[in-house]
């Protein structure tokens, strides 16, 4: 019994030593413009840098115009009724209870509007949901309260935690990017199709990057897919968009889109750094008896 306990203690010490010597963040050696982030007093969308985002923002604008037009027509009709058929101007109201033409119109017009919305929106929905052939495949796992990323084509993974305010400058971020920046970033090459498989380890999370036009819930035990093709180099921020517990607002997402050359260099260094860390993690599990 004593020898088994001693072995457990020794194994735990090895595990802690391996965790303390874990992988460091592998960053890209270029200055990138921060494109996808909230701005003070902003009321519009972030710049759209993918085809999916442009389609979504266009559809939103069209639906806004349709909604405004419907509201204007309804308000106009209400004003006509108020002004023309009030008690002072119309003391003897009509007893008419049916009007076939009017009833046909107020049934047919909404049907035409809804069919028109379906015609323009369903192709965009199908484009989002049909995953194309990927140049890069990533598995994003939501945890309470951080994200884990696995580059499945290259067999390495890493975790991404929100940066404390005092560490922003050392990682190259500004103070107004607190609650957005993370210690590690998803690095992607520009103009490549990226497929992200989203899941969760504990409760429901959601992987969201507004500038890419993507938002996908991660459900424990299931894989859900999204795709995008970033067209502009830069830094993009996102956040978990599903209430997931007390630190829901502290699990942001950082994505850096770079040139193919910079990505290839980062990928080589990331494989060397994180692959060793994954090996150590497997050793930790063995040492801990899990």
Q: Give the CATH fold of the 51-91+98-129 domain.
A: Helix Hairpins (1.10.287)
CA 220 to chain centre: 17
Contact between 183 and 171 under an 8 Å Cβ cutoff? The reply is yes
Angle between helices 51-84 and 100-129 (to 10 degrees): 160
Lookup: tokens for 161: 């935690």
Q: Domain boundaries in the chain?
A: 28-44+133-288, 51-91+98-129
**How far from 8 is each of 20, 141, 272, 280, CA to CA, in Å?**
18, 30, 30, 18
Predicted TM-score (pTM) of this structure: 0.82
Query: Rg of the chain's alpha carbons, rounded to an integer?
Result: 27
Per-residue pLDDT tens listing for the chain (290 residues): 444 444 443 333 333 333 433 445 788 888 899 999 999 888 899 999 999 999 999 999 999 999 999 999 999 999 998 998 888 888 888 888 888 998 999 999 999 999 999 999 999 999 999 999 999 999 999 999 999 999 999 999 999 999 999 999 999 999 999 999 999 999 999 999 999 999 999 999 999 999 999 999 999 999 999 999 999 999 999 999 999 999 999 999 999 999 999 999 999 999 999 876 655 554 333 333 44
Taking the C-alpha atoms of residue 2 and residue 243, their distance in angstroms, rounded to an integer, is 46
Lookup: tokens for 20: 């303390």
- Determine how many CB atoms are found less than 10 A away from the CB of residue 134: 17
Domain 28-44+133-288 - what CATH class?
mainly beta
Alpha helices (runs of H) in the chain, residue ranges in sequence order: 2-20, 51-84, 100-129, 260-288
Question: CA torsion angle for 35, 38, 44, 45 (degrees, to 10)?
Answer: 50
- Residue tagged 């950082």 (tokens): 254
């Amino acid at each position: 019994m004593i020898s088994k306990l001693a072995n457990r203690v020794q194994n735990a010490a090895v595990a802690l030593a391996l965790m303390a010597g874990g992988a460091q963040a592998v960053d890209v050696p270029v200055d990138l413009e921060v494109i996808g982030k909230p701005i003070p007093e902003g009321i519009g969308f972030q710049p759209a840098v993918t085809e999916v985002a442009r389609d979504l923002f266009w559809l939103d604008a069209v639906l806004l115009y349709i909604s405004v037009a419907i509201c204007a027509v309804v308000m106009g009709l209400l004003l006509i009724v108020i002004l023309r058929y009030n008690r002072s101007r119309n003391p003897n109201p009509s007893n008419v209870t049916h009007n076939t033409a009017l009833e046909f119109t107020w049934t047919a017009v909404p049907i035409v509007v809804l069919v028109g919305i379906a015609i323009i929106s369903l192709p965009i929905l199908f484009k989002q949901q049909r995953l194309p052939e990927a140049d890069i495949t990533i598995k994003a796992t939501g945890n309470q309260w951080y994200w884990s990323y696995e580059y499945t084509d290259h067999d390495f993974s890493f975790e991404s935690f929100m940066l404390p305010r005092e560490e922003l400058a050392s990682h190259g971020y500004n103070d107004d990017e607190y609650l957005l920046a993370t210690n590690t970033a998803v690095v992607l090459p520009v103009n490549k199709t990226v497929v992200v498989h989203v899941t969760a380890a504990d409760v429901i999370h959601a992987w969201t990057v507004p500038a890419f036009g993507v938002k996908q819930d991660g459900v424990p035990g299931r894989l859900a897919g999204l795709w995008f093709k970033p067209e502009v180099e830069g830094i993009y921020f996102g956040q978990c968009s599903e209430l997931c517990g007390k630190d829901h607002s502290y699990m942001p997402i950082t994505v850096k889109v770079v040139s193919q050359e910079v990505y290839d260099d980062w990928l080589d260094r990331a494989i060397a750094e994180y692959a060793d860390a994954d090996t150590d993690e497997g050793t930790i599990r063995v040492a801990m008896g899990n």
